[in-house]
């Protein structure tokens, strides 16, 4: 009997322990369920907040797009107004009659001469940190033969576009435009191009294309530098030079009275005058006003010169070589006096057909665009630092 009691007591104790375990597990499950429920509520709240943030960001982006479009329209409108004002100013300038003839006293003449001399003496302040100079001609590539024996071809030297512009001849009034170099190379002739007719015929081969504008030398009653907007097909500026003072800049290219060049520093004019007729002069030009900022008389002779170009403020004059079919850079002039002509290496161009009617340096590509007896040629250049000379 006593054994039975002990057995029953053991069974009851085991049952109580089992129940306690079940109760503990139930409490743990309830706690876990409460925590899961809390996490679910927090996740739902965070998801709702993220949706609201996303909606807010989308709304802000839409507002920014609207403001961007409004600003673009305003800028376009402002640009149109500026262009309109410039055209009105150009019109007013053309309507102003010539100034009456007056007697200029000697003191005024002396003052003007002094100003020119001071421009030559003034130290040139560089616009860029370019210190490159031409080391050698690495290679040449003949693209095709198109047009007459004399002309000029180039791309936009300021990077305004990748178009190719052809100035065929020395006394014409139509620019031929190709969309790309590849289109120009594949073309069967000038009839495949877009034609831009100028108000007057140009003179020589000294023109240049810079920042969507063609700068053209015209010689009618006066010697005039004309700035032509290639997009709007209109003249937007001009500057008159005293015709009687200027002579052809190269003895081998008598049609070219003035030669225009572009480098890393901007726009230059290469010219010669009666006062310094044996040598070539150089001037820096303001592209907005077309006024002369500074001038230099170089020691580079005109005799036997056929073309020239400017790189990093250094003028390179190309002469007809004694060797048949060769040209070479024999004289240079650095406006910053970093390189002297005595230190410069003799640079020969590869074999050519005739004489260079024009050489145009493109600072963005470091290429020379050459016109040689109707052949359009690219010269690839090798540069070095001026301090290495």
**Is residue 100 predicted with pLDDT exceeding 50?**
no
Quick one: pLDDT at residue 101? 39
Which of 93, 117, 141 finishes a domain? Answer: 93
In a domain, 49, yes or no: yes
Which ranges constitute the DSSP H helices of the chain?
2-95, 106-121, 181-186
- What are the two backbone dihedrals, phi and then psi, of residue 212, each rounded to the nearest 5 degrees? 65, 20
Co-location of 85 and 135 in the same domain: no
102 falls in which pLDDT band (50, 70, 90)? very low
CATH code of residue 284: 2.120.10
110 falls in which pLDDT band (50, 70, 90)? low
The CA-based angle 108-111-115, given to 5 degrees, is 140
Lowest-confidence region among 2-11, 147-156, 242-251: 2-11
Number of domains comprising the chain: 2
Quick one: pLDDT at residue 85? 62
Quick one: pLDDT at residue 11? 65
Quick one: pLDDT at residue 222? 87
Task: Give 306-316 pLDDT, tens digit per residue.
Answer: 999 999 999 99
Co-location of 295 and 356 in the same domain: yes
Q: How does 288-323 read in b/e, with b if 16+ C-beta sit within 10 Å?
A: eebeeebbbebebbbeebbbbbbbbbbbbbbbbbee
Quick one: pLDDT at residue 257? 94
In a domain, 153, yes or no: yes
Quick one: pLDDT at residue 62? 81
Which of 51, 72, 93 finishes a domain? Answer: 93
Co-location of 212 and 86 in the same domain: no
Q: What is the pTM of this model?
A: 0.69
Average pLDDT of the segment spanning 378-386: 92
Co-location of 77 and 151 in the same domain: no
Q: Which domain holds residue 208?
A: 125-388
Co-location of 136 and 56 in the same domain: no
In a domain, 113, yes or no: no
Coil, strand or helix at 297: strand
**Is residue 2 predicted with pLDDT exceeding 80?**
no
Q: Which residue has the higher pLDDT, 135 or 244?
A: 135
Pairing relation of β-strands 194-197 and 208-210? Answer: unpaired
Which of 45, 70, 93 finishes a domain? Answer: 93
**Cα–Cα distances in angstroms (integers) from residue 241 to residues 116, 178, 225, 260, in the given order:** 14, 32, 8, 14
Q: Which residue has the higher pLDDT, 383 or 45?
A: 383
Co-location of 40 and 174 in the same domain: no
Average pLDDT of the segment spanning 365-369: 95
Co-location of 56 and 138 in the same domain: no
| Closest C-alpha to 241, from 228, 253, 225, 254 | 225
**Is residue 29 predicted with pLDDT exceeding 90?**
no
**Is residue 97 predicted with pLDDT exceeding 60?**
no
In a domain, 109, yes or no: no
Mean of per-residue pLDDT scores for the chain: 84
Co-location of 187 and 44 in the same domain: no
Average pLDDT of the segment spanning 107-128: 59
Quick one: pLDDT at residue 353? 77
- The conformation of residue 253, written as its DSSP 8-state character, comes to B
In a domain, 114, yes or no: no
Count CB-CB contacts under 10 A for residue 161. 17
In a domain, 107, yes or no: no
In a domain, 309, yes or no: yes
In a domain, 1, yes or no: no
**Residues 329, 312: Cα–Cα separation, whole Å:** 16
Q: Which residue has the higher pLDDT, 160 or 105?
A: 160
Co-location of 181 and 235 in the same domain: yes
Quick one: pLDDT at residue 93? 52
Co-location of 89 and 134 in the same domain: no
378 falls in which pLDDT band (50, 70, 90)? very high
Quick one: pLDDT at residue 320? 86
Co-location of 209 and 283 in the same domain: yes
Co-location of 78 and 220 in the same domain: no
């Amino acid at each position: 009997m006593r054994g039975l009691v002990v057995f029953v007591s053991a069974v009851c104790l085991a049952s109580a322990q089992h129940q306690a375990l079940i109760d503990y597990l139930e409490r743990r499950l309830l706690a876990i369920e409460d925590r899961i429920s809390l996490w679910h509520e927090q996740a739902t709240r965070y998801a709702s907040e993220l949706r609201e943030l996303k909606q807010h960001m989308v709304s802000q982006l839409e507002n920014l797009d609207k403001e961007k479009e409004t600003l673009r329209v305003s800028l376009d409108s402002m640009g149109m107004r500026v262009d309109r004002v410039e055209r009105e100013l150009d019109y007013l300038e053309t309507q102003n009659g010539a100034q009456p003839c007056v007697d200029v006293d000697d003191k005024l003449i002396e003052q003007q001469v002094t100003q020119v001399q001071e421009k030559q003496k003034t130290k040139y302040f560089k616009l860029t940190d370019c210190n490159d100079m031409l080391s050698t001609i690495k290679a040449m590539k003949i693209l095709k033969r198109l047009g007459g024996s004399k002309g000029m071809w180039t791309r936009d030297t300021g990077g305004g576009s990748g178009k190719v512009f052809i100035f065929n001849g020395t006394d014409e009034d139509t620019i031929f435009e190709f969309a790309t170099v590849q289109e120009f190379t594949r073309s069967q002739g000038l009839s495949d191009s877009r034609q831009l007719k100028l108000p007057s015929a140009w003179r020589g081969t000294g023109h240049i294309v810079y920042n969507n504008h063609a700068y053209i030398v015209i010689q009618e009653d006066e010697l005039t530098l004309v700035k032509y907007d290639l997009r709007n097909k209109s003249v937007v500026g001009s500057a008159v030079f005293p015709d009687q003072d200027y002579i052809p800049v190269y003895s081998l290219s008598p049609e070219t009275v003035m030669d225009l060049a572009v480098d890393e520093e901007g726009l230059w004019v290469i010219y010669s005058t009666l006062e310094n007729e044996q040598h070539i002069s150089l001037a820096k030009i303001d592209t907005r006003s077309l006024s002369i900022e500074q001038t230099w008389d170089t020691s580079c002779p005109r005799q036997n010169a056929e073309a020239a170009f400017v790189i990093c403020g250094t003028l390179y004059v190309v002469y007809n070589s004694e060797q048949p079919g060769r040209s070479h850079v024999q004289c240079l002039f650095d406006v910053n006096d970093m390189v002297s002509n005595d230190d410069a290496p003799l640079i020969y161009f590869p074999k050519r057909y005739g004489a260079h009617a024009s050489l145009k340096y493109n600072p963005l590509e470091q290429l020379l665009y050459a016109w040689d007896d109707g052949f359009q040629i690219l010269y690839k250049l090798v540069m070095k630092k001026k301090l290495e000379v």
